[in-house]
Amino acid sequence: MKELIKKVVETYGPAGSEAQIRELIRSEIAPYVDEMRVDALGNLIALKRGGGKKLMLAAHMDEIGIIVTHIDKNGFLRFFPVGGLSPLTLIGNRVMFENGTLGVVGAEKLEAQKDLSLNKLFIDIGAASKTEAEVKVGIGDVACMSREFVDLGTRLVAKAMDDRIACAILIEALKAVREPTYDIYAVFTTQEEVGLRGARVAAYDITPDLGIAIDVTRTGDTPESITMDVSLGKGPTVKIRDSSLLCTPSVRKFMEEVAQQNSIMYQLEVLEAGGTDAGAIQLTKGGIPAGVMSIPCRYIHTASEMVDYSDVQNGVKLLVGIMETEFKG
Amino acid sequence: MLLKRLSEAFGPSGCEGEVRNILMEELAPHVKEWRRDALGNLIAVKGSAGGLRVMLAAHMDECGLMISSIDRSGLLRFRKVGGIDDRVLVSKHVIVGSKKISGVIGAKAVHLQKPDERNQIIPLSGLYIDIGAKSKEDAEKLIKIGDYVVFATEYKALSDTVVVGKSFDDRAGCAVLVEVLKDEYALDIYGAFTVQEEIGLRGAGVAAYAIEPDLAIVLEGTTCSDIPPSKEYGYCTTLGQGPAITIMDASVICDRRMIAELVRIAKDHDIPLQFKRSVTGGSDAGKINQTKAGVPVVVISVPCRYIHSPISMLNLTDFHNTIKLVKLFLKSIAEGGFVL
């Protein structure tokens, strides 16, 4: 599975520019699903028939990135974030555009470190002039972080673990499931990082009986970290709440029971800030029971997001368990 | 002239009737079917080709004020309707209520201000509208609580190409849409003049829900910051450099395929085009994009300086090029030159 993870995390795909990652996922899942389509917002919606109720599983394909707003006469690019980005994580980092162009993030001279803000930063693509820069990059072009996947053994590090690790888990679960008890709508959603936008319209179209998002969540297991009872290596989480939703109690209970019946280690998750696609799914039409399975992840929204491989493998098992267990709630 | 009439019309959010009437009158020879929905959106329906359903949207409403109370002295207290900068309010000539009573926004004169007051922005609580009434009873003959207020700004040409007026956001978009709707296209066109954009994109969402478009084009008068103290990299759009295409704002990421087609058309027809270089703020496109199973959208704007203030400025060449670009885009869609 590590090979698949490497492929999906290294592929380009910021919010609104998901074409490359969508094609990769499409080719990975094609043999394992019955139907596939792409909707108006670019969501990849795959149907695997098992009869029964409609289960929507959402993993977002998009990642955070930057959008070019200006190119100056010396060829430097100014930019604005696409999704939540901190300037602290950007200086010296590398970004990658859709056509493969690489750039380095530099900063203006700062009187003090506290003066650091996104509008003091620029991207250098090695161009000596505006004309030279414009051969490779234009205003409105979008870049993601550029960073190779690293396998530290148990721990895996990469850009875009948020939320490609969930894409990889959903792909693996589609391959592994034997007796699905639902018509499974596996949705690889777009534009989650800018406001859960893909999931919202996909859920409207599908009108599922049950919706579960798969995403990453924060941890409280690093020095002087936020207080949070989630750690790497203790299993995927069953979410209770985040800023976007209170998970439907019957869904949370169902997910816990599936984990217990299959002897899968899991953690309960209370996330103070942050939202997930499940928030948009839950409020669709007359309301839809919704829950979230999260993979604990350190250093979210940086170029080096870290997850634990055993959590990922347990995540696949829990998701397969969900696919094969009827939700009666 | 239509832009002048629309610019001078009284139409803050929730009070778009006067603008709606002008639009219906202007389009009467060109539009047979009208819909007016529960929120007040005006939708012109053209064509029944059974082809693509294209929604064009421009919002009728403008930022304004609302009377919240009348003092014993006859001075009117007010609240803002939409995002107006408090600093631009003092000493402006305004029009109040359906009887269109003239007034001025008053505040304590500079002579009477304490030194520290002079260094502060006058808060809304320190401002009032003075209609020359002698008492509360006197004022109540003309004004009711809840009456709307707009700036009393006349449309004026500063040169052959540069004009100033109130509410080019989004009466410029309305005027563009009117001109576009005067032509015929082999498409199902829904020209939506929306309400309540300035207070939360409220009209566009319900209009799109009812229309169920295959794709949508939002027409705006957008911010233009090409002036000091902005640094060049902070410019949003530049006056005179053509229609501005939004790639992304706080509410939406526009459809890349539609943007690419607009760029192609502009190039083929020598229409100057610019991208909006700021990504803050929202537009009706955000709501339309998120309607039902999703709608691909693009935003095309006439750059306007000083929006959300008593007076805004645009370039008529940009305005006419926006009309031209939208018409060509619709023709391209109708001819199948552009497929989603």
Cβ contact B248–A17 (<8 Å)? no
The tens digit of pLDDT for each residue in B211-245 reads 999 999 999 998 777 666 667 777 788 899 999 99
| Residues B75 and B124 grouped into a single domain | yes
- The closest alpha carbon to A40, from B7, B226, B127, B289, belongs to B289
Domain ranges of chain A: 2-63+159-323, 65-145
- Contact with chain A for residue B296, Cβ under 8 A: yes
Q: Token pair for residue B158?
A: 């500063």
Question: What is d(CA B55, CA B289) in angstroms, rounded to the nearest whole number?
Answer: 11
In a domain, B227, yes or no: yes
Parent domain of B81: 64-151
Confidence of residue A256 (pLDDT cuts 50, 70, 90): very high
Question: B292 and chain A: CB distance < 8 Å anywhere?
Answer: yes
Query: Which of 3.40.630.10, 3.30.420.40, 3.30.2350.10, 3.10.180.10 would CATH assign to domain A2-63+159-323?
Result: 3.40.630.10
Average pLDDT over residues A147-166: 97
Split at pLDDT 50, 70, 90, the class of B260 is very high
Distance CA B56, CA A3 (A): 46
d(Cα B274, Cα A139) in Å, to the nearest integer?
Answer: 9
Tokens 């002579």 belong to residue: B111
Contact B233 A140 (CB under 8 A): no
Q: By CA distance, what is A202's nearest residue in B? A: B293
- C-beta of residue A18 within 8 angstroms of C-beta of residue A62: yes
Inter-residue contact A143 to A95 (CB < 8 Å)? yes
B283 vs B59: CA distance, rounded Å? 9
Cα distance from N-terminal residue to C-terminal residue, chain A: 33
A65-145: CATH architecture:
Beta Barrel (2.40)
Instruction: With cut-offs at 50, 70 and 90, classify the pLDDT of residue A193.
Output: very high
State how far the Cα of B252 lies from the Cα of B20, in Å rounded to an integer: 27
Which residues in chain A are closer than 8 Å to B279, comparing Cβ atoms? 67, 69, 80
For residue A144, the model assigns a pLDDT of 98
Q: Which residues of A touch B294 (CB under 8 A)?
A: 39-41, 43, 198, 201-202, 204-205
Please tell me the distance from the alpha carbon of residue A304 to that of residue B63, in angstroms, as a whole number. Answer: 45
Do B189 and B56 share a structural domain? yes
Residues B109 and B187 occupy one common structural domain: no
The chain B residue lying nearest A140, using CA atoms, is B247
Name the 3-class secondary structure at B91: coil
Average pLDDT along chain A: 97
Q: Which residue of A has its CA nearest to B245?
A: A140
Contact A17 B259 (CB under 8 A): no
**Strand A54-60 to A183-189 pairing:** parallel
Give me the helix-helix angle, B316-334 and B168-181, nearest 10°: 40
DSSP β-ladder status, B76-81 and B274-275: unpaired
Q: Nearest Cβ partner of A204 from B247, B279, B292?
A: B292
Please give, rounded to a whole number of angstroms, the shortest distance from the CA of A209 to a CA of chain B: 17
* Res. B50: pLDDT tops 90: no
Mean pLDDT, chain B, whole residue set = 93
Rounded to an integer, the average pLDDT of B78-87 is 92
Domain count, chain B: 2
pLDDT of residue A329: 82
Residues B139 and B245 in one domain: no
Predicted confidence (pLDDT) per residue in A131-150, tens digit? 999 999 999 999 999 999 99
Instruction: Give the count of beta carbons closer than 10 Å to the beta carbon of residue A178.
Output: 7
Closest in A72, A204, A205 to B233, CB measured: A72
pLDDT, tens only, B275-284 = 988 788 889 9
B290 and A201 Cβ atoms separated by less than 8 Å: yes
Q: Nearest-CA distance from A50 to chain B in Å?
A: 24
Q: Which residues of A touch B247 (CB under 8 A)?
A: 67, 139-140
Angle (deg, nearest 10), helices A2-10 and A161-176 = 140
For A211-238, what is each residue's pLDDT tens digit?
A: 999 999 999 999 999 999 999 999 999 9
Residues B70, B138, single domain; the answer is: yes
Residue B118 shares a structural domain with residue B189: no
- pLDDT, mean of residues A202-209: 98
Collect all residues of chain B within an 8 Å Cβ-Cβ radius of residue A197.
Answer: 253, 289-290
Tokens of B39: 């929120």
Query: What is the sign of the dihedral through the CA atoms of A27, A29, A31 and A37?
Result: negative
Query: Helix, strand, or coil here: A64?
Result: coil
A160 interfacial to chain B (CB closer than 8 Å): no
- A41, A77, A277: best mutation site toward chain B, by most B Cβ within 10 Å? A41
> Same structural domain for residues B41 and B86?
no
At A115, is the secondary structure helix, strand, or coil?
Answer: helix
Which residues 224-253 in chain B show a CB within 8 A of chain A?
232-235, 247-248, 253
Domain endpoint, select from B151, B174, B194 = B151
- The set of residues, in sequence order, having a beta carbon less than 8 Å from that of B113 and lying 6+ positions away, is none
What residues contact B114, with CB distance under 8 A and at least 6 apart?
Answer: none
A80/B278 CB distance under 8 A: yes
Identify which of A80, A200, A201 has the shortest CB distance to residue B279: A80
| Percent of chain A's residues with pLDDT above 90 | 97
CA distance A65 to A160: 10
pLDDT(A98) > 80: yes
Phi and psi at A206, nearest 5°, equal: -80, -35
Between A15, A70, A201, which is nearest B233 by CB? A70
C-alpha of A141 from chain center: 21
Enumerate the residues of chain A whose CB falls inside 8 A of the CB of residue B233: 69-70, 72, 78
Chain A residue at shortest CA distance from B278: A69
Contact in structure between B252 and B294 (CB atoms under 8 Å): no
pLDDT digits (tens, 9 = 90+) for B92-150: 999 999 999 999 999 888 888 888 888 888 888 889 999 999 999 999 999 999 999 99
Question: Percent of chain A beyond pLDDT 70?
Answer: 100
Pick A139's closest partner by Cβ from B277, B291, B295: B277
- Give yes or no: residues B55 and B72 share one domain: no
pLDDT at A220: 96
DSSP one-letter string for A122-149: EEE-S-SSHHHHHHH--TT-EEEE----
Judge: A140–B275 Cβ closer than 8 Å, yes or no. yes
Q: From start to end of chain A, where are the E strands?
A: 35-38, 44-48, 54-60, 65-71, 76-82, 94-97, 102-107, 121-124, 142-145, 150-151, 155-158, 183-189, 210-217, 237-241, 267-270, 290-296, 305-308
> A192 catalytic, yes or no?
yes
Per-residue pLDDT at B164 exceeds 70? yes
DSSP label of A86: -
Maximum CA extent, chain A: 64
Query: A184 near A50, Cβ under 8 Å?
Result: yes
Same domain, B125 and B247: no
> B221 and B232 share a domain?
yes
Q: Which residue of B lies nearest to A120 if distances are taken between CA atoms?
A: B233
* Residue B159, amino acid: S
Last residue of a domain, one of B94, B117, B151: B151
Number of Cβ atoms within 10 Å of the Cβ of A207: 14
B76: domain CATH number? 2.40.30.40
How far is Cα B165 from Cα A223, in angstroms, rounded to an integer?
A: 58
Contact A204 B256 (CB under 8 A): no
> B248 and A16: CB-CB below 8 Å?
yes
Same fold, A2-63+159-323 and A65-145: no
Stretch A154-172: mean pLDDT: 98
Cis peptide before B249 (omega within 30 of 0): no
Let me know if residue B48 belongs to a domain: yes
Q: Give the rounded distance of the alpha carbon of A225 from its chain centre.
A: 22
Residue B69 has pLDDT above 90, yes or no: yes
In chain A, which residues have their Cβ closer than 8 Å to the Cβ of B292?
Answer: 201, 204-205
- Judgement on whether residues B16 and B102 belong to the same structural domain of the protein: no
In the set A10, A28, A192, A193, the catalytic residue is: A192
State the Cα–Cα distance between residues A70 and A77, nearest whole angstrom: 6
Residues B73, B46 share a domain:
no
Total Cβ atoms within 10 A of residue A231: 16
Alpha carbons A23 and A15: distance in angstroms, whole number: 15
- Mutation choice for A interface testing from B209, B232, B249, B253 by most A CBs within 10 A: B253
Point out the domain boundary residue: B94, B119, B151. Answer: B151
Give the closest-approach CA distance of A303 to chain B in angstroms.
23
The predicted structure's pLDDT at residue B229: 65
pLDDT of residue B228: 66
CA dihedral (A52, A58, A59, A60) in degrees, to 10, reads: 150
Residue with token string 């502009």: B266
Q: Is A27:A20 a contact under the CB 8 Å cutoff?
A: no
- The answer on pLDDT for A58 being more than 70 is yes
